[in-house]
Amino acid sequence: MNKNLQTVFNYHQTTKHSQQRYARSLGYMDWQTQPNPFRNYNGTDSLLLPLALENNTPPYHLLDSELPPAPLLKESLSQLLQFSMGIAAWKVSGDSSWAVRCNASSGNLHPTESYLILPPTLDEQNEKTTVFHYTPKNHGLESLTAFDTSFWDTLPKGSFLIGLSGISWREAWKYGERAFRYVNLDAGHALQSINVSSKMLGWKLTPLDSVSDADIATLLGLSQEKRFFEREHADMLFVVSPEEVSTSLSIETLLQDVPLMFDGIANKLSPTMENWEIIAEVENATSVMQIAQKDVIKSQVLPTATQESKKVIMQRRSIHVMDKVRSPITKDEFHTLLAGVVDSLNGKENAAHLAIFVHRVKEYESGIYILVRNERDKKALQEQMFSAFKWKECEFSGLYLLDVRDSMIASKTISCAQDIASDGAFSLGMLCNFSEQLNTYGAHRYKELYWECGAIGQQLYLDATSMGLSGTGIGCFLDDMMHSVLGLESDKGLNPSASDALNAESYKFQILYHFTVGRGYVDSRIQTQEAYEER
């Protein structure tokens, strides 16, 4: 096994929660070092974007139809950012207030930052290509650098680039060594937020999978380490365009033309930081791409008449308490939620399957089910799981009943004793093809698996909200207890330093994320204020 894969394996094993111990963290909240949730670059020119709240947006259920593309203007760009990475509302309790954003985040800590590379045609006063940083607090852009390039000649008119980065310290402050998992889940949430917001404008979002993390860092200025106090690492780069674009698009011209030094110094998010060496190690190990993923057909959401898309996005919330009495859902609602995530959300081959605890779904028996999102893995799943599982085909294609049982206690226990896992209509774990994917595509694939799971979570949030339901992502779960419930071999006792450890059958599938859907309580003690009221 190569060194990077070994590092990923060690990290994943070390950061598992179990009944005997949780992954290491400080164990308390050091409020003196709580990271600023908003990044800005001191010494840059800033531009406020026009608010998009009054813009008409298509009905949510029509987002996967062929909508006419909007022109690339400040107004359309503003809408894209506001309904993906912007603030949806402010919450107020006593003297405390905090922002709720359109993209979900573990602990509302928001490690993901977004950058734009825009052609000169956006602003008549600017005749150069410009790299901007998006500032969600005031819904604006900070200009980091401007330069000439012929890169745009290779793209359809109205195209531009979006880059995403991650700041692990924002999550590590609360979650310690497990933070790298959450940073990448949040990146997946952001990916799907931008994807949905692009669809609202009739735009196509194309991930450039052949672009290395190092090249993304160069384009966004992240490799200029003297401009940063906290480490900020590159994650993804997309083309946003009115037309489909090749995922293997070359950015060599852009790399040759981008300046070596940008304007602005990143604000210091905390006075001091706790050093988690294990996170730096896995960041470095997963920063090198080995083989790009293959393309597949993108997901098509099951059409169900619903409200305007911007309202769905702005109303999305994470629920902390589920109402057991109101949480039962219909079979059709269940099927609609599954239809939104059964196919690929990012145009790439699915690696995550949904192991579902059904509690309160009408016309469904309580029990354990699995939604197989890639038929390639079905045989291996059947071989790995309990031989007594039924694998009874359900009405929804790809969904199988494994076992009839009351799984409320198990789902709650697995989700770190959180009632939300048992009090809703159903909860689920995202079970990923793990060792095969890592061995085939390299250590960088570890991040991508979390991105896929985060994207599934964001889509579940939005689809649930569109039907008047509630959802919550659950990052705290007992990894191997979930595996045991499914009959997967425990990896307890395996030697992490063994050269064949990642090939072991017990690592073929791993749970990376949990989620629950039902109907939640609204805490009347917490007030809600509209976003950007000051503007």
Structure-token match 């506001």, residue found? 82
Q: What is the pLDDT of residue 498?
A: 47
Sheet of 527-530: strand order equals: 96-101, 87-93, 527-530
Q: What is the pLDDT of residue 495?
A: 47
Residue 503 has φ and ψ, to the nearest 5°, of -90, -10
Structure tokens at 45: 């020119």
Beta bridge partners of 474: 514
Among 310, 368, 377, 429, CA closest to 55:
310
Tell me whether the CATH fold assigned to 69-285 matches the one assigned to 309-518. Answer: yes
Q: What is the pLDDT of residue 483?
A: 97
Q: What is the pLDDT of residue 526?
A: 82
- Can you tell me the distance from the alpha carbon of 101 to that of 106, in angstroms, rounded to the nearest whole number? 12
Question: b/e per residue, 270-289, with b = 16+ CB within 10 A?
Answer: beebeebebbebbbebbbeb
**End-to-end CA gap in the chain:** 55
Q: Enumerate the domain spans of the chain.
A: 69-285, 309-518
> pTM here?
0.96
Residue 430 has φ and ψ, to the nearest 5°, of -90, 105
- Can you tell me the distance from the alpha carbon of 356 to that of 400, in angstroms, rounded to the nearest whole number? 10
Coil/strand/helix, residue 1 = coil
- Long-range residue pairs from 252-258, CB within 8 A, at least 24 positions apart, any chain: 253/149, 253/150, 253/151, 253/154, 254/117, 254/129, 254/149, 254/151, 254/219, 255/215, 255/218, 255/219, 257/129, 257/147, 257/148, 257/149, 257/151, 258/131, 258/145, 258/147, 258/149, 258/218, 258/219
**Residues 356 and 371 sit within 8 Å (Cβ to Cβ):** yes
Report CA torsion sign: 469, 475, 477, 482. Answer: positive
The percent helix, strand, coil of the chain (3-state, each to 5) is 35, 25, 45
Q: What is the pLDDT of residue 121?
A: 74
What is the C-alpha radius of gyration for the chain, rounded to an integer number of angstroms?
22
CB atoms within 10 A of CB 126: 15
| Packing angle, helices 179-200 and 168-175, rounded to 10 | 130
Among 435, 456, 313, CA closest to 377:
435
Q: What is the pLDDT of residue 492?
A: 44
pLDDT under 70 in the chain at which residues? 1, 122-125, 291-294, 296-305, 490-506
At the topology level of CATH, where does 69-285 sit? NADH Oxidase (3.40.109)
- Specify the CATH number for 309-518; select among 3.40.50.720, 3.40.50.620, 3.30.70.20, 3.40.109.10: 3.40.109.10
